Structure 1
């Protein structure tokens, strides 16, 4: 049974974005803008979002620039869209656009950001940017931010020398794609940007079926662009080192991570939690959890979904606008 509506919407740079909206049966009491992770897409969350709409919280999700159907749909994608062609600057502009769309569609109800992995880092970085009107009002209008398994740092960081070389190469050839083998090192040493960016299928969940489906998914391509990879890794590091200081003190945040995540660093989430100046902040560590907690078996995914929904429900009442 279809629980969502599909739309192709024009975003920044006239890019066609594939989107899904999960509408509650009754009037929504809140709306969540969701941002997915590296080389994945929103169809991988079909088992997650219906739980939100069942609790009268709408969800707006989109395949990011360079990923999913936004990059691969042969009939609807933009002419200049190709797989992995993206950048941190563009992704943050796209998120600004997505928030604006959700506000236009759902009005003045509380709006939350929710991101996973790479998307988790993006929703955390968004409120820390240097904002001027009208972007400043976009941040002050947020009711809260959820980041699951955010890519602040890698679980096993790449060598600094290789990162430096890769960063320089991204300036010369930003759209050049390089292999991201899900069963070994993401980028070989010969590619001058060695880093493990995707994950072996057995690392994403204790449920083997999830890994098998991931490997067979035609919308998951094991490649990344030099600019996209460099920006993604640098963005998380900048957030942890300096940009966290610009977090609005009255903007609530929930950080969730699995302690055994082999892709992104749970310790980095703990450190960011300690540094964020948010008055209302929560860190939730799932002992033994892998990277995709929303796909973990034995009741873990249900626990994760419930925790996130309950946290949003607790923050639905009007609050003081975040101070920038």
Structure 2
């Protein structure tokens, strides 16, 4: 989380530009904050790219944080004001591995993963919260088209991102080909997916 949403979208576009045109169907997938970014890209990414994306997959997307992790409106307001003066100011917010996954082996790998640095800038965190609010409101909406698929995965035991918010989002999603898989009791990080990413 190093910059505003415009930078996040530009970074995704820069990556996708290296893959397009593609001889195989292209899907954009993200987990947690990445899931939020994938869904946001579906609504705000450039048409020349999104028209070539077959579908979006969002695993435990950050549409709303769990109640215990939601910042107060006062904290959000203070953060927005501070981000205008010190946009690059870094904030470290440690995630407790025991909230990530029930599997002990997976939890032990979490702190050692260089990509899980738990650091963001004020500007990046404000963008993260703004994107979540947009997804909660349902505006802007993903425009349906032939061949577009949206798939979500979320565990009801997620202690980071609220599963009910994801369910509501998919319920109101104006897409014919959509599917949300809900897993009772599953935490934020899916063991199989995490190991797949580590091996890649």
Coarse TM-score class (shorter-chain normalised): 0.7 to 0.9
The unaligned stretches of length 5 or more in structure 1 are 1-83, 183-198, 296-300, 306-324
The unaligned stretches of length 5 or more in structure 2 are none
Report the 3-state secondary structure (helix = DSSP H, G, I; strand = E; otherwise coil) of the residue aligned with 2:110.
helix
CA gap of 1:159–1:85, structure 2 versus 1, over 3 A, is same
Report what 1:283 is aligned to.
180
**TM-score, L = length of structure 2:** 0.88
Aligned Cα root-mean-square deviation (Å)? 1.8
C-alpha displacement at 1:108, in angstroms? 3.3
**Separation in 2, partners of 1:289, 1:147:** 15
Q: 1:139 aligns with which of 50, 68, 78?
A: 50
**Separation in 1, partners of 2:135, 2:115:** 29
Q: 1:228 aligns with which of 115, 124, 148?
A: 124
Provide, for residues 257-276 of structure 1, a one-character-per-residue CA deviation record: whole Å limited to 9, x for no partner. 01010001101101110111
**Separation in 2, partners of 1:168, 1:122:** 23
**Separation in 2, partners of 1:281, 1:154:** 23
**Separation in 2, partners of 1:263, 1:150:** 10
Report what 2:3 is aligned to.
86
Report what 1:113 is aligned to.
28
**Separation in 2, partners of 1:217, 1:99:** 25
Alignment length (residue pairs): 190
Contact 2:155 2:183 in 1 (8 A): yes
Structure 1 outlier segments of 4+, above 4 Å: none
Query: Who wins on radius of gyration, i.e. which is larger?
Result: 1
CA gap of 1:140–1:268, structure 2 versus 1, over 3 A, is same
User: Could you say which structure has the greater relative contact order, defined with CA pairs below 8 angstroms and 6 or more residues apart?
Assistant: 2
Report what 1:171 is aligned to.
84
